[in-house]
Amino acid sequence: MNQLINQTLAVGVVVVFMLSSGSAGAKEEKAAWWNNDWTQRQPLTVDPSALSGAEGEVTLLLRLADSSVFSSAREDGGDLRIISSDGKTVLPHHVERYDGLLGEAFVWVKIPEIKKDTLFLYFGNPDAPVPGKIEDAYGKKLSAVYHFSESGSDPVDATSNSNDAAAPTLEADGAIIGSGARFTGANPLSLKAAESLAWSAGGSATISLWVKFAMPQANAVILSRGEGAEAFKILLDNGVPVVQLGGTRSAAGNPIAANSWNHITIVAEGASVKIMVNGEPYGTASAGLPALDGPITLGASISGFAGDIDELNLYNTSLDVASVKLAFINQSGTEAALKLLSAGATEGGEAGGGHLMEHLMLFGDIANNMMFDGWIAIGICVIMIIVGWTVAIKKFAYLNKIDKGNKIFLKQWKSLSNDITALDHSDSSSVSSMGGVVDEEDQDLMKDSPLYHIYHIGAEEISHRLHKMSDKQEGLPGRSIQAIRASLDAGLVHENHRLTNGLVYLTISVAGGPYVGLLGTVVGVMITFAIIAKSGEVNVNSIAPGIASALLATVVGLVVAIPALFIYSYLNGRIKNVIATMQVFIDEFVAKMAEFYRPKNEA
């Protein structure tokens, strides 16, 4: 038993140390919980300190790979919500892909300003309503956004402009973000003409996309619009990204690496069109954007780009260098991307208790796998609980009656103790009413008071001794007082037995509950391993149910012991107080008796 207590204390010390360390390290107060219907959240840290100049509204990519999200969120990710640092504003988001089986999700979230901030990702609400519209996650600067996450269907524009493609593309798994579009060099994809995609002469526009190729090609067409002198093309000439406007080309730079994803951005503004690669300036074409409003084509039927394309974004304005670099870093999936937008540890909150109910329901599944020997241990523990709690309830009621009776008795005794000779000890009614000052109602309440019982013993002993005295002798000699005190002490012992009667069942629960539960667990584990050895099946599914059900016996044993320990300690403390009060009363009664019944021959 001592060893079990020492182990428990050791675990308690470790837990207290961990909690104190955690609280000491927490310098900032936790943000208030947004909505109690959501049971989990993760803080999202936005840190653009490595960038300079990026301003305004932006849509960032959040990559999720934390198992706690996929185990707690809905299967389709429909309960994901991203809340701003004020703890109130729901930020628009778009779940491009959510795969709980692979533990992978890509979520686009629009934030009003790019700055160092802390957002919160909430999840864990199976009854969450449908989130806002997908297009709300993309700002007005975007004319079209293609994630190429569709499988076997036409690529869809994620913005409100609905500039969907005209035909399906080949799917490329394992793109930079989810899946992408695969081009063979002869399967162009056309984006229909639309007002939102129109360009004005010398106007502003931005095109960004990710490309990956296996073999260098000469003048492979990635994107084109228009024909002849007004044609606009993005080419990959033997690995060199080039923008061509009619007969004007951008200056050639170093070729990009094959078999890797590269971010290419074309920024048109005024009389020049710049090309940026992986967030850095790469080349410039000294010509303005032509006035074009026709369809836009990805790839070509002849000399088309052969490789993969992902995340094509078309802007109706020119992005600055900082914004282009921000997009490149955020979408790259590199360590820099994780620093820019990172998810913290999952927090459980002041939530609706959905997980608590799930955990409670698991106990039913565990009980279904319980073996017969485990049910025997649990049955014994249940008996202990019934007996122990019955004793505890009766003892609580008894002690409450004692406290009430003692209070009334001591109030009356305070007046009577000034002269206990006022009692007619030979008259039982005088003793019971404490000299006629206590009414019948209070007498009924005092019947449960052990002080009242001892007081009756003392009065009877005084009456017995005085009755035997001769008429010439008055008072009580010292030997009589000692004899009366012995009777009072005997009454104290009897009252002590009455107070502690039944507490042994609580001590049995405290000492025996854990061991009975442990016995059930050990036998259950032993049988589980014996069954595994006999069947030859060694896997988690065959071991876990038996172990879990065996451990349930120990849980029940602790459920017996822990409340019994607290109840026993509380009751024992109250009983000690009552006994101490009786001892003080006996000393006072003997002193008053010696004072008021002193023999005449004593000075």
pLDDT greater than 60 at residue 356:
no
Residue 325 covered by a domain: no
Same domain? For 153 and 205 the reply is yes
SS3 394: helix
Structure tokens at 409: 């008795």
Q: Are residues 98 and 204 in the same domain?
A: no
- pLDDT beyond 90 at 460: no
Provide the 8-state DSSP code for 421: G
**Count of structural domains within the chain:** 3
Together in a domain, 123 and 166 = no
Q: Give CA–CA dist 301/288, Å, rounded.
A: 27
Do 171 and 281 sit in the same domain of this protein? yes
Reading phi first (left if > 0) and then psi (alpha if -120 to 50, else beta), residue 72 is in: alpha
Cβ–Cβ < 8 Å for 351, 37: yes
pLDDT over 80 (residue 43): yes
Q: Are residues 482 and 508 in the same domain?
A: yes
C-alpha to C-alpha distance for 578 and 455, rounded to whole angstroms = 15
Closest to 474 measured CA to CA, from 603, 600, 593: 600
**Which CATH number fits the domain that encloses residue 219?**
2.60.120.200
d(CA 331, CA 108) in angstroms, rounded, equals 10
- Going by pLDDT thresholds of 50, 70 and 90, the confidence category of residue 163 is very high
Q: Are strands 262-269 and 180-184 parallel, antiparallel or unpaired?
A: unpaired
**46, 36, 118: which is closest to 83 by C-alpha?**
118
Give the domain extent around 507. 371-603
Tokens read off for 367: 């009980």
Q: 106 and 154: one domain? A: no
Chain segment 86-124, per-residue pLDDT in tens: 999 999 999 999 988 888 999 999 999 999 999 999 999
Residue 401 vs residue 429, higher pLDDT: 401
159 and 126 within one domain: no
* Cα distance between residue 495 and residue 575, in whole Å: 10
In a domain, 119, yes or no: yes
pLDDT given for residue 481 in this prediction: 87
Of 103, 118, 139, at which residue does a domain stop? 139
Last residue of a domain, one of 101, 116, 139: 139
User: What percent of the chain has pLDDT above 70?
Assistant: 89
Give a yes or no: residue 363 inside a domain: no
Is 550 inside a domain boundary? yes
Alpha-carbon torsion (172, 175, 180, 186), positive or negative: negative
Last residue of a domain, one of 139, 159, 181: 139
Confidence band, pLDDT 50/70/90 cuts, at residue 479: confident
Contacts 24+ apart (CB under 8 A), 377-383: 377/516, 377/517, 377/519, 377/520, 377/521, 377/523, 377/553, 377/556, 377/557, 378/517, 378/520, 378/552, 378/553, 378/556, 380/516, 381/513, 381/516, 381/517, 381/553, 381/556, 381/557, 381/559, 381/560, 382/556
Stretch 474-500: mean pLDDT? 88
Do residues 226 and 149 both lie within one domain? yes
Confidence band for 365, pLDDT divided at 50, 70 and 90: low
CA dihedral 316, 320, 323, 325 (to 10 degrees): 120
Q: What DSSP string runs through 4-69? A: HHHHHHHHHHHHHHHHHHHHHH--SPPPPPS-TT--EEEEEEE--TT--S--S-EEEEEEE--HHH
Q: How confident is the model at residue 60 (pLDDT cuts 50, 70, 90)?
A: very high
Looking at the structure, tell me whether residues 168 and 121 fall in a common domain.
Answer: no
Give the containing element (helix H, strand E) for 273. strand 272-277
Q: Which residue has the tokens 């019934």?
A: 386
CB 178 within 8 A of CB 208: no
**129 shares a domain with 148:** no
Q: Which residues of 285-316 are buried (b: 16+ CB within 10 A; e: fewer)?
A: bebbbbebebbbbbbbeeebbbbbbbbbbbbb
Mean pLDDT score, 483-497: 91
Calculate what percentage of the chain has a pLDDT beyond 90: 54
Both 300 and 213 in one domain: the answer is: yes
Residue 340 lies in a domain: no
- Residue 446 in any domain: the answer is yes
Whether residues 58 and 167 share a domain: the answer is no
Range name among 4-13, 174-183, 336-345, 531-540 with the lowest pLDDT average: 4-13
